Structure formats: C-alpha cells, structure tokens
Chains A and B, each alone.
Chain A
Amino acid sequence: MAFSTIFGAWIAAFLTLGILSYLYRDNPFYKIAEHIFVGVSAAYWAATFYWTQIYPNLFGRLFPKDGPLSFIAEVDFNHDFNILYIFPLVLGIMMLLSIFKQFNWMARWGIAYTVGIAAGLKAYGYLNSNVLSQISASAVDLFSGTLPIFNMSGDSVFNNLVILIGTLSALMYFYFSREQSGSYGKFTRVGIYFLMISFGASFGFAVMGRISLLIGRFNDLILFSSPEYNYGTFFMMAFIVIILGFWSFQNPEKKEN
C-alpha cells in the first residue's frame, strides 16, 4: 500500500480518536481536531466555490477567449462574452467590502439581491409542493367503500381516518383565537398527542442517525487497525491515551458543587 494512503489513514485515525476523546472531557486533542476541521472545511469550500463557479461561470463569461475584455485576462470555457455578468461581479465585490467599516453599507445591496432571489424561489416551490400538494394529499378516501377497513401499512379506512384526525387536530391546536377548553380543548389535546408522537419519532430517527455515523467511524477505525495500515488505530490510540492520561494528571478535573 502507498505511503500516502497509510499516512492518510493514520491522520484519520488520530482525528477520529481526537474528536471522540471529548466524551472523556474537553482536552487538547479534541481542540486540535476541531480547529483542523474548521480550517480545512473553510478552505475547501472557498477553493471549491472559486474553481467550480466563480472562475468558469463568472470569469469564463467576462473574459472569454477572443472576447472584448480578453486583453485583461483570458478564461477559456467555451462561453460567449456576456456583459450582464458584470452585475454579479460588482455585487460580489460590494459584499466583500463589508470588512471595511466605511463601505459596509454596500454589502446590503448584494445581500438584498440574494434574499430577494431566495425568497422568490422558495415561495413558489414551497407553495406548490408543501402547501398545495400536501392539502390535496390530505383529502383522503373514507367513504368510497373501495378500501379495506384496516391495513397495517397501505391505504385503509382506519389509516386515512388517523391522517384526517391527526391533521385537523394538530392544525386546530395552533388556532389561538379561541380558548382551548371543553370539547374543543379535548380535540386539540388529541393534536398534542399526535405532535408528541411525531417528536418522539424524530428523536428516535435522530438517535439512529448518530449511531449510524458512529458505526461509520468505528468501521474505519477497525479497517485502519489492520496490518495493511501498520496498525494505525492502535498506535494512535496508545499515543492519545498516554498523553491524555499525563495531561489529566497535570490538569485534574474540577468537581462541580
């Protein structure tokens, strides 16, 4: 196996164990791993955005080969010259000027443009897919007689009744113009139960997701502990445990009262 692959595996094992060491307590290994992660992520995103978007799509259209501005620079991505792309360039520069106190008002123009575009784009998609389609899907079949009374997973009168009652009661719970008492209050209470079941399911799924990620990390650590990787996990674990033990001895945990 190539040295670079083994070296990468050792670094990965060190960073994984460094992050997991936080479970013991906040410590220098965790801090190192955390800072490397933040720094590398920021640099990676910046580089990716520049080379995949700004350079080919913006500069590629402002400074194409044989374009009117090609005497300044030439960025050849087979695009035609498009003067309209000067606007995103200017707005982008204006956003960057926010680091200077006297020019930071300029950033608002770029932000206003972005917010406007995002709001317009979101409004259409959300209204169509989340409001209209969901309302239409809530119009369930109850009385046609074509559905079975009960079915564990598919369409049935019982399941559709649960959808109907759940949707109505949960929606009514958020109607605050009437006091939630009497039979109306009892109905909205049913809505709370539906919401609580939903939150419980969300929590369960969240736990499952986290455990899945832990499984992923453990799988990698197991892989890196093999002879092909020169027992990287074991060496890194021994290194971290020894240093962490010494560090803990030097910096005893303060007991909370």
Chain B
Amino acid sequence: MRLFEDMILKLGSVDRRFIFLLIGLAVLIPLLRPVDLPIKETPTTRKVYDAIEAIPSNSKVLMSFDYGPSTKPEIHPMTLGVMRQLLRDDHQIYITCLWPDGLYMALDALEEINQEFELTEYEDYVLLGFRPGNEAIVKGLASDLRKVYTVDSKGTMLEDIPMMEGINNLKDFQFIFTGSAGYPGTFEWVQYGGDPTGVPLSSGTTSIQVNEVMPYVQSGQIKGVLAGMPGAAEYESMISRPGIAIQGMAAQSFAHLVIVLFIVLGNLAYFITERRERKY
C-alpha cells in the first residue's frame, strides 16, 4: 500500500512540462490517426437547428461574424454549418461583423461555401463588413441599418444592391445568428438586437461563454446555442456535413481524459501528503 502511495505521490508531483507533453500527445495523436467517436446531439444544439429549419424559405437572415482567428477552431465550423443550412433552403444571408477580423473570417467562410453552392454576390449574400462601435452598432442596426451602413465591405452603395431593398432595420430580417467569441457578441445581440426587436436569435459561442449564455437559452431569449467545439461537431453531424469540429472531438475527449486523470492524481497526492503529515 505504501509503495502504491509513494507512486501516486511521485506522479502527483511530476514536472508540469511532462503534463504539457502528455496533453500535447493526447491531442496530436487522434488528429494524425483519426478515431471515430459517437456524436450525441444536445437539446441546445437541436434548438438552433430546429429554429433555422423553421424559417420560411427564401427568408432574409442576418449573420454576424463576431470572432477572430484566435477562436476560429471553435466558431468557424459553426458559422460554416449555419451558412450551409441556410443556403440549402435558399435563404439570403446578410453578413455583419462587430469584430474587425470578423470580416476576414467571413471572407474565408464565403470562399469555402462558394465551392459548394456557387454563390452570387448581392443575390445570395451581401457582406456588409465591419463597423466599430460594439453595442452601439447593434442598437444602430435595430433602429436604422442605413445609418450604420451606407456602403458594403466593397464600397458599393446599399441603394445599388438589389437584395438590400426593403432592408432598413433588424425587424426586416426573419432570423439573426451570431458566431460570438466574447465582447461584443452574443450578449450585445440579445440586449440590443433580439430582445428589443423580437427577431428570433441564435448563437454559436466559445466554450468559455457557454455558462453565461445558458440563462438566455433557458429563458427563450436565444433559440438554442452551439456550445464550443462539441456544439459545432453536433451541428456538423445534424446537417450531415462532417468537418473539422467532428475531427477534433476525439482529440478533445482524449485531452480531457488526461486532464481528469491528473486532477485525480493531484488530489490523491494531496490527501496522502496531508494524512502522512498528520500522522508524524
């Protein structure tokens, strides 16, 4: 027994770099040699899917790219998935960005989606682009979109874009989706976009935000939420279009197992040390 305890004590005080290495390997190996793990949909993801399915065909949907390259692995698969689902039902997509680098994420997403759907700019989508101002922009869009945007991201006047006809504020959209990595993002869209206008709103967020966003889902202020990479993987599975989120889930699961193992070992080592110190 004492030998076993000594072993746990040794493992509990292992050099942190060894733990980093193990987590790195736990992530890397499943990425190099993919492992198929079952993806089980959660009710919050199902709500997003159902809410988008419920939009009448040929509707106008606003998508906001509120994230940058740092959170691309989590949010990008979600926005790609939502765009695919929207385009299958011939919805028109209006893209805004509350983050400056959101514009490049949107361009990247459009380039990838274009290979599947052969999109026509100003018929299938319009990239309105980035405007600084955080929540003031959302509030501006809710009251008068044309004061916030006079031109799109390419500098084309909104009056010259056919699909902008009849679009004056958020109430002219049938649905809003935000891919959000923090501030400004989901909270601002709820507070200044969805709640005041009553337009159905859904969100895809980073894992870190999920706990704070969940009360909005519970209260119905948001129609479901795509929660981090698992949410993106579930969504990819629901739209039958496997992508990088599903590929990443095996790595995610193995890394979590290693972390849990070290949390257990660390706690065991703590209790053994405490007991021995008490004894002697």
Q: With A134-B215, A134-B219, A198-B211 in contact, is A219–B73 under 8 Å at CB? A: yes
- The smallest C-beta distance from B11 to any residue of chain A, in angstroms, reads 19
Stretch in B87-95, B132-140, B166-174 with 4+ CB within 8 Å of A: B132-140
B130 contacts partner chain A, Cβ-Cβ < 8 Å: yes
Contact B208 A78 (CB under 8 A): no
- A128, B27: Cβ atoms closer than 8 Å: no
How many chain A residues have a CB neighbour from B under 8 Å? 45
Q: Give A159's nearest chain B residue, CB to CB.
A: B218
Interface of chain A residues 73 through 100 with chain B (CB within 8 A): 77-79
Asked if B248 and A215 sit within 8 Å, CB to CB, the answer is yes
B81: Cβ under 8 A from any A Cβ: no
Decide if the interface of chain A is mainly helix, strand, loop or mixed.
Answer: helix
Q: Which of B31, B218, B228 contacts A222 (CB 8 A)?
A: B31
Given A78-B157, A208-B252, A209-B206, the answer on whether A154 and B211 have CB atoms closer than 8 Å is: no
Task: Assess the B191–A215 pair: CB atoms within 8 A.
Answer: no
Size category, B interface: 35 or more
Interface residues of A in 6-42 (CB under 8 A from B): 23-24
B31 touches A211 (CB 8 A): no
Tell me the B214-233 residues at the A interface (CB within 8 Å).
215-216, 218-221, 227-230
Nearest residue, chain B, Cβ from A211: B255
**Chain A residues engaging chain B, CB cutoff 8 angstroms:** 23-24, 44-45, 48-49, 52-53, 56, 77-79, 117, 121-122, 125-126, 128-130, 133-134, 136-137, 153-154, 163, 198, 201-202, 205-209, 211-219, 222
Q: Is the CB of A49 within 8 A of B218?
A: no
B84 contacts the other chain (CB 8 A): no
Q: Known: A78-B157, A209-B74, A215-B252. Contact between A48 and B211, CB under 8 A?
A: no
Contact with A along B67-82 (1 / 0, CB 8 A): 0001111100000000
Question: In the complex the two chains form, is A48's CB within 8 Å of B230's CB?
Answer: no
